[in-house]
Structure 1
Amino acid sequence: MLLWINGPFGGGKTQTAYEILRRLPGSVVCDPEHVGFGLHRMTPPALRGDFQDMASWRQGVYEVLDLALRRHEGVVIVPMTLVEPAYFDEVVGRLRDGAGHEVHHVALLAQRETVLRRLSERGLGRGLKRESFAVQKLDHCLERLRKPLFAEHIHTDRANVPEVADMIAASAGLRLAPNTDGALRQRLRTAWTGVKHARFE
């Protein structure tokens, strides 16, 4: 199964993906941002834009995920914001309908104020300044993701990371190992995941 976790930037996709990875034996996280970062490094800075607009990104993501789904026996988890319908069809739709893979897609949604607070908290002391791209895209992402194309929708305003992981697993028919973390351990785990996967591009 491909488990695609969509949502706005700052919506908790990466935290949730790695929580599922921790509690689902045999699963693997495949992050399409790495393909985009590689393309950016090859491109002169003045020419860099949204790497999702590059056909090479969409094709590369499709090929890597198709390979992973054919050769890896466990669940493939993808935390990635993808809100353009044509791009969504080109990657997710093609994996599902063209290649015949089992694809379960969820979109994590929250109120604008909740997402802004989360972005500020992950700003490494710089607040929202470090997250200007995410803030700029926030309203567009939330508007697009509420559309039926991007269902199933999971609302996360009042849920912590393990609870969101549990909701996704239940919707996908997956059984996660029990979460045995206390509140302090969970905060430390969340902070460490944020540090490991901070975006510096």
Structure 2
Amino acid sequence: MLVWINGPFGGGKTQTAFELHRRLPGSVVCDPEMVGFGLHRTMPKELRDDFQDLPAWRQGVFEVLDLVLSKHDGVVIAPMTVVNPAYFAETVGRLRETGHDVRHFTLLADQETVRNRLRKRGGFGLRFEGFALDRITHCLDALQHPDFAEHIHTDHITIPDVADHIATSTALPLTPNTDSPLRANLRRALVTAKHIRF
């Protein structure tokens, strides 16, 4: 099974992916963003626009996830914002057409909630957050479409609650969440630190 976690930048996709991974033995996180960063590294800076616009990114994501889903015995988790319906069809849609069991979830929140989350991340000096802040309205509007269901509204629920929702919807057997509040905060901080984009 592929669990694709969509949503706006700052929506909690990566935190949710690693919460699922932590509580789902045998699972693996495959981040499609890494394919884009790899493509950017091969290009001069002046050509590094939105890597999703590169056909190589969509093809690469499909090929990597197709391979992992074919060879890995456990659940595959992919946290990635995709709001363009054509790009969604070329990635999530193609994987479904190939015969893979793909479960798609979109994490949504009010604009102010998302802005506050991004501002907190901006405290780490992330250059990416300006890009993300500029696209909040477009992302949230586009992701409301039924094609991007199942929607999970995250304004008033925790990351473990989101993971539990996904597990219930997919019948995945998560281990119990035994983190104390302190341990949960430390774990989230570590995930954030590992995904800082300088």
Q: Deviations over 1:96-143 (max 9, x none)?
A: 01x1100000000000000011111111344x8751000011111000
Separation (CA, whole Å) in 2 of partners of 1:172 and 1:38: 31
Q: What's the counterpart of residue 68 of structure 1? A: 68
Separation (CA, whole Å) in 2 of partners of 1:59 and 1:33: 13
Residue 47 of structure 2 corresponds to residue 47 of structure 1 = yes
Separation (CA, whole Å) in 1 of partners of 2:62 and 2:183: 36
Separation (CA, whole Å) in 1 of partners of 2:128 and 2:138: 19
Q: Indicate if the aligned counterparts of 2:3 and 2:104 stay in contact, CA closer than 8 A.
A: yes
Q: Deviations over 1:6-25 (max 9, x none)?
A: 00000000000000000000
Q: Indicate if the aligned counterparts of 2:128 and 2:197 stay in contact, CA closer than 8 A.
A: no
Separation (CA, whole Å) in 1 of partners of 2:166 and 2:195: 21
Moved more, 15-24 or 183-192: 183-192
Which amino acid is the alignment partner of residue 150 of structure 1? F
**Structure 1 runs, 4 residues or longer, greater than 6 Å off:** none
Q: Evaluate the alpha carbon distance shift between residue 92 and residue 43 of structure 1 in structure 2; reply closer, same or farther with a 3 A threshold.
A: same
Residue 133 of structure 2 corresponds to residue 100 of structure 1 = no
Which amino acid is the alignment partner of residue 158 of structure 1? H
Q: What's the counterpart of residue 90 of structure 1? A: 90
For residue 78 of structure 2, give the secondary structure of its aligned residue in structure 1: strand
Separation (CA, whole Å) in 1 of partners of 2:123 and 2:172: 34
Q: When the two structures are aligned, how many residues end up with a matched partner?
A: 198
Equivalent residues in 2 for 1:11-160, closer than 5 Å: 11-97=11-97, 99-126=98-125, 131-160=129-158
Separation (CA, whole Å) in 1 of partners of 2:197 and 2:12: 14
Unaligned runs of 5+ in 1: none
Separation (CA, whole Å) in 1 of partners of 2:58 and 2:90: 7
Superposition TM-score, scaled by structure 2 size: 0.97
Which amino acid is the alignment partner of residue 117 of structure 1? N
Q: Deviations over 1:140-183 (max 9, x none)?
A: 10001000000000000011111111111111111100000111
For residue 174 of structure 1, give the secondary structure of its aligned residue in structure 2: coil
| Cα deviation, residue 34, structure 1 | 0.6
Pairwise CA RMSD: 1.1
* Identical aligned residues as a percent: 64
Unaligned runs of 5+ in 2: none
Superposition TM-score, scaled by structure 1 size: 0.96
Which amino acid is the alignment partner of residue 5 of structure 2? I
